[in-house]
Chains A and B, each alone.
Chain A
Amino acid sequence: MTEEAEKKEVKGVESSEKGESKFDDYSLMEVPKNQRYGFFNMFLVFGSVYGAIAVIWAGGALGYGLTFTQATLAVLAGTAVLTILGALMSAVGAHSGLSTYTAWRFPLGRWGGKVAGLLLITVTTGVGWYAVETWLFGIIMNEVYPTSPFFSVGTAAIWGGVLMIIMTYVGYRMLSFLSYFSIPFHMWLIAVGIAIVLALKGGMSTVLSAVPTHPMGLLDGISAVIGLYIAGTIISPDIARFSRSAKDASGAWIAHIVFLYPFLILGGVAIVLATGSYLITNAMLKLGMGIGVLLIILFGQFIINTDNLYSGSLSLVNFWPMRREWASVINGVIGTAIASYIGFSAGASITPFENFISFLGEVLPAMGGILVADFFLVKPFLERRRNPKERYKFRENDRYYNLNIAGIVALVLGAAVGIFVNAGIPAINSLIVGLVSYVLIYAAFKAAGRSPEVLPYVYKGGRLK
């Protein structure tokens, strides 16, 4: 980087910091180098944000369809895909210092990045899954203390949601603090819980000889393993942008997913095969492990949902520039209202709502493929930007584009394949189609002597608009 370019960049950062809230977390700009963290921080935040009890519950679904051996194969295959994709996505975050949705402005254009961020993350993760997780929090609290009105499903969803909003208001520092505080004892509680429940239900011999009640194919199992974590993988730059180096970010991603994810998901499988239910917390409650269960639920749900809301707030700010903490309040209030409404409305079915946000989520793998294609193939080989730190850089008075036709078309193609083609593994199909079609369309434009990027604008410095 030239001296002049460095000065411009610093000037941009300084001017945008003036009058900014200390909770903004660089939502619309690159995270400065002196605000970044090392491997230890990255590993713990990744581990706690994604290594929560929800993974066991969701992974437990595999136990109904696969034997333990089949599940192990599915988990290993799915984990391999997520490891590679997440490491690449984390590297993008660390190199650029940008949030996921701000980075999407490069392969999709500014308008494309805004709309995709709103639909794929604000609606799904920031409000949708946040509401579902808050509602689940209310249900579990009610199971732990069924007679107290303070712990009724609706009431617990409200006070739990409010606490989560407060934590998200603070931002990444709060995520870090929660992670440091909770991840070691969280993992201990979950590991001991799984071990004890299994020991009392016949041990591994029971697990290995158990037959699933609703058999499914191995490919479906792999698809489920990938689908469960694909959203977290695609939005990993939200965390990785705080990393000092791409090596730290990718290393932390690989370490946490290799060491934690298979253990959690196979724990869920083993519990289902041994007990017939994926609710490890219920089994632990029956054994009198009440305090431990409460801690697991409290911190597990809190952290994963704080991250849901955090990513939702970043994507909302990207769509409509505002203070990030206000965006977290807006998303949080809507999500909490939905969760408490469902909680208070006895008999209300959440299935149509879950199906809707799942449908939107099916587009995500294509977006992952497009970002990887743009950052690791198009930018260095077609645009000749070899230095990864220079590939996604907003410079004052430079020209950028509102639409990238290659990205939009590739996203539509990848999403269509993910949604309508059931052969193989839909998430992988979508990802590969997004990746390949983006490169091909971009190259075709270049070969024709044109650019797929249209509607230029000039970046004036400071926070992005």
Chain B
Amino acid sequence: MKLGFMYTAYLVANMAIGLLFMAMIYVNGLLGTYDLSYGILTLIISVWGLARTFKSSNEGKISAGVQHSWLLVSFAIGYISLALAPVFTASLAIVAFQSLLSAIQAVWGSFLLVQAYRSGYSIIRV
């Protein structure tokens, strides 16, 4: 499968993930605000990445994909490392749901970055 297409799929999936996080505004307390902020951030990065992808040539699509995936993976690590703190008290189901979504972001994105690196697209160079 072409890398450019794989990145596009990842960014579209992240748009959906961003919307799901935003939907957590209905969770009471700090966690709702935290998830809403993170959801908006994810959505902005994904939409921005997709816009760049559609405007670019094939090589440009991969470069844009690498940059935006890297941002999403890094923010996902930051998100999950705070989301499990006691200050965000939540039910087990919510914690599991959050963890699953951010794990998808981090693992899928990391896999794509490794693929890109093997194809000569170093994160530092793109």
Q: Are A173 and B71 in contact (CB under 8 A)?
A: no
- Partner of A185 from the list B30, B81, B87 (CB cut-off 8 Å) is B81
Nearest residue, chain B, Cβ from A197:
B87
Question: How far is A184 from B44 in the complex, measured between Cα atoms in Å?
Answer: 14
Judged by a CB distance under 8 angstroms, whether A454 is at the interface is no
Instruction: List the count of A-B residue pairs having beta carbons below 8 Å apart.
Output: 65
Is B13 in contact with chain A by the CB < 8 A criterion?
no
Q: With a CB–CB cut-off of 8 A, which chain A residues contact B82? A: 188-189, 192-193, 289, 291-292
Q: Pick from B41, B70, B87: contact of A180, CB below 8 A.
A: B70
Q: List CB contacts (< 8 Å) of B74-94 with chain A.
A: 74-75, 77-79, 81-82, 84-87
The reply on B121 being an interface residue by CB < 8 A is no
Q: Which residues of A contact B75 (CB under 8 A)?
A: 184-185, 188
A189 touches B87 (CB 8 A): no
Q: Which of B37, B70, B82, B86 has the most A CB atoms < 10 Å from its CB?
A: B82
Complex partner residue of A188 from B78, B123, B124, B125, CB under 8 angstroms: B78
Out of B30, B34, B74, B85, name the residue touching A183 (CB < 8 Å): B74
User: Does A445 make an interface contact (CB < 8 A)?
Assistant: no
**Contacts of A279-321 to chain B: CB distance below 8 A:** 287-292, 295
Q: Is B67 among interface residues, defined by CB-CB distance under 8 A?
A: yes
Is the contact region of chain A dominated by helix, strand, or loop, or is it mixed? Answer: helix
Q: Are A188 and B79 in contact, CB atoms less than 8 angstroms apart?
A: yes
List, in ascending order, chain A residues with CB within 8 A of B34's CB: 192
Cα(A199)–Cα(B30), bound, Å: 9
**In the assembled complex, which residues on chain B have CB atoms less than 8 Å from the CB atom of A199?**
30
- Name the distance in Å between A398's Cβ and chain B's nearest Cβ: 33
Q: Mark B20-41, 1 if CB is under 8 A from A, else 0.
A: 0000000000100010010001
CB distance from A267 to the nearest CB of B (A): 15
A221→B108 CA distance, assembly (Å): 46
Residues facing A in B53-79 (CB within 8 A) are 67, 70-71, 74-75, 77-79
Contact: A291 with B84, CB < 8 Å? yes
**Assembly CA distance A292 to B83 (angstroms):** 9
A40-B67, A288-B87, A291-B84 given; A185·B124 CB < 8 A: no
Closest 4 CB pairs of A and B: A185-B78, A288-B86, A188-B78, A184-B74
Interface positions of A (Cβ within 8 A of B): 37, 40-41, 173, 176-177, 180-186, 188-189, 192-193, 196, 199-200, 287-292, 295
What are 5 A-B pairs at a CB distance below 8 A? A41-B124, A173-B124, A188-B79, A291-B84, A292-B82
